[in-house]
Amino acid sequence: MTTATNTVARVAAGIAGAALVLSSFASVVGAQTTTTTTTSTTTSATFTRNLTIGSHGTDVTALQTWLMAKGFTIAAGATGYFGAQTKAALAAYQAANAISPAAGYFGPITRAAVSAGGTVSTGTLPSGCTSTAGFSPTTGVSCSTGTTTTTTTGPLAGGEGSLNNFKIVGATNTSLNAADSDTVYGFEFRATGSDLQVNRVDYDMFLSTAGTANVSSPRPWNVFSTAQLMRNNTVVATLDGSDINNWSQDGTAGNGNQIYRLRFDGLKDVVKMDTTADYYLKLSTQNTINSSNNNNIYSIFLSSQGVRAIDAKGINEYSSSSAGSTATVSVSTNTSGSLTVSTGSDNPQATTVQASTNNTTSDVTLATFTLQAKDGDVSIYTIPVSVATTTASSSDLIRTVKLYQGSTLLDTESYAVGSASTSVKFKNLNVKIPQGTTQSFSVKADINAVGTGNTVPEGASVALSIPSNGWDAVNTAGNNVTISGSVTGNVITFRSIGLALDASPSSATANVTTVNTTTGSQQGTFTFTYNVTAFGQDVFFSKNANTAINGQILSNGTAATTTATTSAITSTADTSGSNNYVVHSGQTKQVTVTITLTQGFNQSVYAQLFNMKFGSTDAAPAASTAVFNNNYITAPVYVRA
């Protein structure tokens, strides 16, 4: 096996030295018997929103009055402004009443306690618990009764967890006009070791470029109407972007402008163990953007440790202390219309498709995409696409390409025989996208016969793309609209004889074991288990992992150049006459690849598989290549030298 190293950012905290496991099977934990403890709820004040530094209003006055009545000093009195004194008094109250964290932030837990007259409403406590100290009915953390400790299991499965493989996604430059909306910033992570309940996300924003008539302190609540935290296409939380109280001050940017924080808290969105979640910030602008804010450009980034989640042990896990990538959002009064092109969520990954040797292989999906209309209805008459092919020309490989909207066929186009052109246009369309809506499309192809005796050889491939130029799209006035975004499809390979790989491994694990108790040195073991299916005829692959598999050991720190690894491959497939594995045509067999890192170097490392070699003859079991997609990757583990 080929080994290499690569430096990537490590952003999840607190996972050094512990084995992390990726698996498609989540743990199932049964709930223990509980008893119910009921608390009195005498309400002296009711609060409906979160309060922090910079908040003001009658509810701030009520909170200050309540705190002082409870004996917590605010020297300035009940001013209606939430400042440092109010924060300190609130933190003292939280500490005195076992509300964690005692940070002086008036969130859902403290709000419920104050609204209940100072008592935390616990709902159901586990048997033996007489206090809420250290216990969360959401996560099932143990609670102390003074002499004994009782543990209950809540809805979160697993042990100590972490936000693994955390990265910023979709941090792009977005333009929003009046009465417009779009997703502007996203992040992604994998829940490892435990279910993780995301309970807080902080975004920061500041004016990076002034507009045509900029005011000295531009205020985002005069521009934005709503802010939503999205998980894929599902709304997790919504804030009123026009409410000044939802924008707290969070320091000063390098250009001297005020940074405003947008906080989504009180969330209870659970990411199941060993799954990956994507979250996005979606902003909507107000119906009218004042001329003083026209053409303003705002910078948006995830705050330091801006994502907080709790694991099954009740431990808070955070995203990186680094702010990461920055997105920009420009706002204007323009209402001429625009169209945004984006890759579809179901866009095909890189894969191998079985093609016929005698007939056309029909309706192979090459790419999916979405179109979103902004600032007015948009009518589309022409959509351009381009294909990049290998081994065979476009016209040799592709008989026809077809454009679908959902399941409706909109247009079919063909490549001229013998043509070397890679571009084609779907034309004479009449597709209307109403303002503010997003609609889904796909491009499919009919593939000519592949293999022996045909013009198209085994292993010919195609990747389709959709550019932002060459469109015919207009607004209701008949004027051309702005097209933004593009689509780049993955490589689709065609074979009449081949080895198909599972879309995801059935398991991909990473473990650490101590090999020297005196020095504490360790080794890492990375194991992938997946299925392969032969089609067309019997297919062979080597029992030597270094011949059959191409993968990498990657490190999260300084690249290690002398890493020693051993590799092994086993399979439920039969053994051939030349002592290779053979998968008979139509059979599906299991393969297990194990990589052992025999020399630790005090870094966090993980493994990834890239391709598998196979052949159509026993004499040449590595003549062709099947590509693994990006799902063939393990969690990182820290391996001591």
Distance CA(97)–CA(90), nearest Å, equals 11
Q: Which residues pair with 285 in a beta bridge?
A: 224
Consecutive H or E run containing 350: none
Spell out a b/e string for 52-80, using b for 16 or more CB atoms within 10 Å of the CB, else e.
bbbbeeebbbbbbebbeeeebebeeebeb
Q: Is 140 helix (H, G, I), strand (E, B) or coil?
A: coil
Give the strand pairing for 338-343 and 482-484.
parallel
Higher-confidence position of 560 and 331: 331
Single out the residue of 129, 105, 107, 110 nearest to residue 121, CA to CA: 110
pLDDT at 616 over 80: yes
pTM for the full predicted model: 0.53
Q: Which residue has the higher pLDDT, 472 or 561?
A: 472
Under the banding of pLDDT at 50, 70 and 90, the label for residue 335 is low
Q: Residues 283-294: what's their mean pLDDT?
A: 84
Q: How far apart are CA 482 and CA 12, in angstroms?
A: 39
Helices 84-96 and 108-115 cross at an angle (nearest 10°) of: 70
Residue 238: strand, helix, or coil = strand
Cα within 13 Å of Cα(147), Cβ side: 0
Query: How many Å apart are CA 521 and CA 604, to the nearest integer?
Result: 14
List, for residues 379-431, the tens digit of each pLDDT value.
999 999 998 887 666 678 888 999 999 999 999 998 766 555 678 899 989 99
More confident residue, 518 or 560: 518
CA separation for the pair 282, 230 (Å, rounded): 7
- pLDDT, position 418: 55
Centre a 10 Å sphere on the Cβ of residue 361 and count the other Cβ atoms it contains. Answer: 19
Average pLDDT over residues 342-361: 90
Residue 234 has pLDDT above 50, yes or no: yes
Contact 534, 585 (CB under 8 A): yes
368-377: average pLDDT: 88
CA distances from 370 to 346, 404, 422, 441, 485 (A): 10, 11, 22, 6, 10
The sign of the torsion formed by the CA atoms of 397, 450, 609, 502 equals positive
User: How does pLDDT run across 576-613, given as a tens digit for each residue?
Assistant: 999 999 999 999 999 999 998 876 667 778 888 999 99
Handedness of CA 575, 581, 585, 586 (dihedral sign): positive
* Closest alpha carbon to 416 in 439, 403, 399, 440: 399
Burial environment of residue 557 by CB neighbours within 10 A (0 to 12, 13 to 18, 19 or more): middle
In this predicted structure, what is the pLDDT of residue 420? 57
Residues 6+ apart with CB under 8 A from 425: 382, 383, 384, 385, 413, 470
Higher confidence at residue 573 or residue 131? Answer: 573
Contact 390, 460 (CB under 8 A): yes
Is the pLDDT confidence value at 186 over 70? yes
- The two three-digit tokens of residue 374, written as one number: 């902004």
Q: Specify burial of residue 542 (Cβ count, 10 A radius: 0-12, 13-18, 19+).
A: buried
Q: Is 374 helix (H, G, I), strand (E, B) or coil?
A: strand
Cα dihedral across residues 405, 406, 408, 413: positive or negative? positive
User: Which alpha helices (DSSP H) does 296-417 contain, by range?
Assistant: 394-397
Q: CB of 6 within 8 A of CB of 555? A: yes
Confidence of residue 218 (pLDDT cuts 50, 70, 90): low
Average pLDDT across the chain, whole number:
79
Cite the DSSP H helix spans in 97-169.
108-115
How much is the average pLDDT of 351-378? Answer: 91
Give 447's pLDDT tier (boundaries 50, 70, 90): very high
Residue 66 has pLDDT above 70, yes or no: yes
**Confidence (pLDDT) at 140:** 36
Whole-angstrom distance, CA of residue 245 vs CA of residue 473: 41
d(CA 437, CA 17): 48
How many Å is the Cα radius of gyration of the chain? 29
Give the confidence band of 148 by pLDDT, cuts at 50, 70, 90.
very low
Could you tell me if 22 and 634 are in contact, meaning their C-beta atoms sit under 8 angstroms apart?
yes
Q: What are the C-alpha distances in Å from 27 to residues 64, 143, 298, 341, 527?
A: 46, 23, 43, 39, 19
| Short-list 607, 614, 608, 606, CA closest to 629 | 608
pLDDT tens digits along 3-38: 333 322 222 222 222 222 222 212 111 222 233 333
Write down the pLDDT at residue 549. Answer: 93
> Residues 220, 286: contact at Cβ < 8 Å?
no
CA angle 308, 312, 313 (to 5 degrees): 90
pLDDT tier for residue 536 given thresholds of 50, 70 and 90: very high
Alpha-carbon distance of 625 to 614, in angstroms, equals 6
Q: Are 279 and 187 in contact (CB under 8 A)?
A: yes
- Give residue 58's pLDDT: 79
pLDDT at 149: 32
Residue 152's identity, in one-letter code, is T
Distance CA 608, CA 22 (A): 12
